[in-house]
Chain A
Amino acid sequence: MNDEAYKMFESVLGPDNVSRDPGLLDAYTYQWLGEMIGEPNRFGPFRPACVTLPSTTEEVQAIVRVCNRHGLKFKAHSTGWGLYANPGEEGVVMLDLRRMNRLIEINEKDMYAVVEPYVIWAQLQAEAMCRGLNCVTIGAGSCTSALANCTSLMGTANNNVSMGYNERNVLGVEWVLPDGEIVRLGSPGSGAGWISGDGPGPSLRGIMRGTFGALGGLGVFTKCAVRLYQWGGPAELPSENIVSMDERLLEYPENARLFVPYFESRVMMEEALARIGESEVAYSTGLLERGLLTLGLGVDNLNSAEMRESLLPTIPKNFFTCLLVGNSARELEYQTRVMNQILEQTAGRRFEMMEQEGFRDIITLFLVKGGSVPAKAVFSPTGSFNPLLCGFFGTRRTLVKGMDDAEEIKRKYIESGLLADDMAEGGWSPLIMDHGHMEYFEHETLFDPHVPESTLALIMLTIETNQSLADKKLMIPFASQVKVARAQGLSVHDSIAAHMNCDYRTWQRQFKQAFDPNDAADSCNYITPKPKA
């Protein structure tokens, strides 16, 4: 890369915090889903030009300015998990924000925490819970950056039902724009603390993200306030053992109760979910379909294989998990009675095996904390996965359609033997958000990254599913589509816009042009300033 620029990075950061060693850079090239767009190994197609480790907003700004001056592209990541974090072309300067790891403030009365990019959900949650608060630790697990999720990515989580999607769980934000200018969204811009991210006037949160963030394509977020919510459980949930199925709570929280109901049909299940939503009794909800549960939660893969063989037939098809957490014994009692009434109305039955010690403990931990269970379930069996319908937000009449569609299409791919055989029942999702105002479903699909035919099957399945959804005028799941589009060398938005009633690319592209005049921020997961030929 450009020596002059590199020397400037060294002078800004100190030589210990910048590197262009090829082997070291390969650690930033190796990535989950690298196999989807490159060789059948984990290395994506593009190695960064160098990696920088800024520790302050000013250092980020300096790096971005050097990039603009020297015509270099840049891309920042926090915890850096997934293809989104990798460069989209040659010559990209990486900003690894690992050194920006300060938890600046927890405001208990206004219920937020101000974090830098490398504060992970598990850290934030631990600090919040001992103050009687909690955060929306996402489905990807506790190891991900709270800031990156809120500003740049997604935000689906089991506790979306009571605490909402993370697009709305961000308050003030500090943002280094692609041209190096710093903008502070909302109240921090006016020097009025972190309490709001909107205004003055039109909210710039609207360009920061939508259902998804810009995935690195629109600058670097350096601080943000993340909303916290009441947590009625104990300050800690001490457990013994560390391995998924073996983990046991030392004491089950007295004001929590786990329900695992099952139903004759998906329609009835959805009906129950909707009622649970409207009654506002659920703290956390989670679908873990039996194919995924058995393949993914064994103590090891051998155990999973046994569970798939012998446990699966004993698990009902249409079940979900629902955790009630009362702030008082009275509240828990009320919630319990409502749940029972809803199950009565919807012919739901209790799947007792999962409500008893053992499953109860790990599912409760999963519903409250996330922990390692989600990653274990999807990665351990085959080494890789990609969700179908990742980004499929539904409502009352569409959730079941999406679920049915994915299952039906996936089944034939399962029969090919190229994917993990979850009986096309690999769904994970919170199912309902904001007490039922939104519904969400994604269908995890496990493939072996070391088997090219397996990866190809995943790609073909995703393409077919997304086409089917578009044909039915249902939402096209962006996070699924962006990866297959990249695998095919297509612009993701070109592949989606054709189905829309207005061409949103016009506006997104103009944001890119206006805020990134030198096209410095790597846009491989966002939008290019000009249409691709």
Chain B
Amino acid sequence: MALQDYEKSMNYCIRCSHCKWIPFNKIKTKRFSANCPAISRYNFHSYSGGGRVAIAQSLFLGRSEMTDEIRETIYRCQLCGSCQVACHLIGEICEPLEIARELRIKCVEDGELLPEHMLMIDGMRKEDNPFGEPKARRGDWAEGLSLKNINTDKADVIFHAGCRFSYDADLRSIVRGAATLLLKAGVNVGIAGKEEACCGGRAFDVGYRGQMENYADDIISRIKAAGATKLVTPCADCYSAFMQFYPMIRKELDIEILHTTEYFARLIKEGKLKPRGGSSLRVTYHDPCHLGRLGEPYIPWNGTWKKVWGQLNIPDPPKQVRRGTGGVYEPPREILRSIPGIEFVEMERIREYSWCCGAGGGVREAYEDFSEWTALERIAEAKAVGADALVTTCGWCERNFKDALGKRNDDFKVYDITELLMGV
């Protein structure tokens, strides 16, 4: 795909600004009514979903050329997809999220790169992870857990830890905990260990499509070899890459893909997993973009738009309208409700219209202040509903929240849902 593939789409933004707000009927207070971190922070219309469509079309038509300011605009965006959810409440042809991503691909093709992203890509190229950490240490997190090695053994379930969980020492207890819970539930689970590679989602998000294609091929061959029936990951980013990006670039993983929360919820229902619970806690849940709206399975489409009833535009064949409604929302909530001692309270922006943590789209790497600001907005929302702690299910979200809080010496608690399952 390239911008020219969105030629029609770029003409159908109606400049209504739905892309700046959560669905209107869901607004509870003015304070937490915005949905897009970029426009909320930088204010020029060009920072909104619609504005990005306009920029894309302007570049496409040759009305303007790439400038530093436009490049900044393009990259100051987490690609969280909330704009598209809102946009698709009133239309379906315009796809602001896809167009925003295409702009980055164009940047990369044109050599309009950010040094911070180049560093990240460099790390991937060398060590198969965005941090440039040694590939050889990727499986260290699983030491002593007696997990199967899918490179040599057969397992029903491949546990894909993802880069963040593999290398972030602060989060190690979470990933180990998740694996332990699976083992306790009697799941035949294996990992690729040091052979596990990045999913490539982060590379795709910053415009390096080719980089992700390589990783997709790698994972596809590994799955085939393992003969597993399920791919389970605790990382929402990886989950989104598998569910959304791979089909987008026409790479299909022929396996059931589950986020750990989905699998845990299933195991709890089946009675194979019993939440332990801990002290009583009032918690709220942050829907990670990549598990929620960006975790919605992507259905490829190679069709055309045709006219019926005069000028009514309809896709031929039918085309999925991506509104995030197929994301993973209930399982984490079911888990929270099942844990003794947990009082679960919703924030104002949830599910498809959840506010982003700020870590995605290469923003954490290139625009730390923006990333942090975005996280603090979410923390403020969690505090506003009277929660003692914010619970999430994504290592990237958790890292970003913790960093933002740490910088302010704020001891507001952030947990992964796995930690609660294990009894905090």
Contact = CB atoms under 8 A, between A and B. Distances in A.
Report if A and B touch in the complex (beta carbons < 8 A): yes
A446 interface: yes
Contact of B17 (A143, A369, A448): A143
A421 B312 contact: yes
Nearest to B29: A126
A193 interface: no
Nearest to A457: B311
A243 interface: yes
A99 B34 CA distance: 13
Contacts of B385: none
Nearest to B308: A305
B33 A123 contact: yes
B129 interface: no
Interface in B47-75: 50-51, 53-55, 57-59, 61, 63-67, 69-70, 73
Nearest to B351: A242
Interface stretch (A20-28, A164-172, A203-211, A329-337): A20-28
A184 to B, nearest CB: 24
A247 B323 CA distance: 13
B11 interface: yes
B169 to A, nearest CB: 37
A120 B20 CA distance: 11
A237 B25 contact: yes
A24 B92 contact: no
B302 interface: no
B15 interface: yes
Contacts of B50: 27, 30
Contacts of A124: 30
Contact of B312 (A41, A295, A372): A295
Contacts of B63: 22-23, 26, 43
Given A26-B54, A302-B315, A454-B311, A96 B43 contact: yes
B85 interface: yes
A122 B54 contact: no
A380 B43 contact: no
B30 A119 contact: yes
B39 to A, nearest CB: 8
Nearest to A30: B54
B43 A451 contact: no
Interface string B320-363: 01010100000000000000000000000000110000000000
A468 interface: no
A225 interface: no
A77 B14 CA distance: 16
A41 B61 contact: yes
B54 A236 contact: no
Given A29-B54, A126-B30, A376-B89, A81 B15 contact: yes
B46 interface: yes
Contacts of B90: 372, 375-376, 379-380
Interface in A413-456: 414, 417-421, 446-451, 454
Interface centre among B45, B85, B89 (most CB of A within 10 A): B45
Interface stretch (A61-69, A252-260, A279-287, A381-389): A381-389
Contacts of B323: 242-243
B310 A418 contact: yes
A103 B24 contact: no
Interface residues of B, number: 62
B23 A26 contact: no
B2 interface: no
B43 A42 contact: no
A143 B55 contact: no
B26 A242 contact: yes
A113 to B, nearest CB: 10
B311 A22 contact: no
Contacts, number: 229
A24 B93 CA distance: 23
A141 interface: yes
A30 B310 contact: no
A277 interface: no
Contact of A451 (B54, B66, B89, B311): B311
Nearest to A31: B15
Interface residues of A, number: 82
A369 B13 contact: no
Interface in B162-211: none
A381 B308 CA distance: 10
B19 to A, nearest CB: 9
B46 A27 contact: yes
A513 interface: no
Interface string B366-399: 0000000000000000000000000000000000
A236 B315 contact: no
A19 B43 CA distance: 11
B406 interface: no
Given A21-B70, A123-B33, A375-B18, A301 B89 contact: no
B89 A22 contact: no
B70 A24 contact: yes
Interface of A: 16-17, 19, 21-32, 41-43, 51, 53, 79-82, 96, 98-99, 103, 119-120, 122-127, 130, 141-143, 236-237, 239, 241-244, 247, 295, 299-302, 304-305, 308, 365, 369-372, 375-376, 379-384, 414, 417-421, 446-451, 454
13 contacts: A30-B13, A41-B61, A81-B15, A82-B15, A122-B21, A141-B16, A142-B24, A143-B21, A295-B309, A301-B315, A302-B314, A419-B310, A421-B312
Given A301-B312, A380-B91, 17 more contacts: A21-B69, A23-B69, A24-B55, A27-B45, A30-B54, A30-B58, A42-B57, A43-B61, A123-B27, A127-B29, A142-B24, A381-B311, A383-B12, A384-B14, A417-B311, A450-B11, A450-B12
Interface of B: 8, 11-18, 20-21, 23-30, 33, 42-46, 50-51, 53-55, 57-59, 61, 63-67, 69-70, 73, 85, 89-93, 308-315, 318, 321, 323, 325, 352-353
The 10 A-B pairs of least Cβ separation, nearest first, read: A30-B54, A142-B24, A26-B58, A27-B46, A421-B310, A23-B64, A123-B30, A22-B64, A122-B24, A27-B51
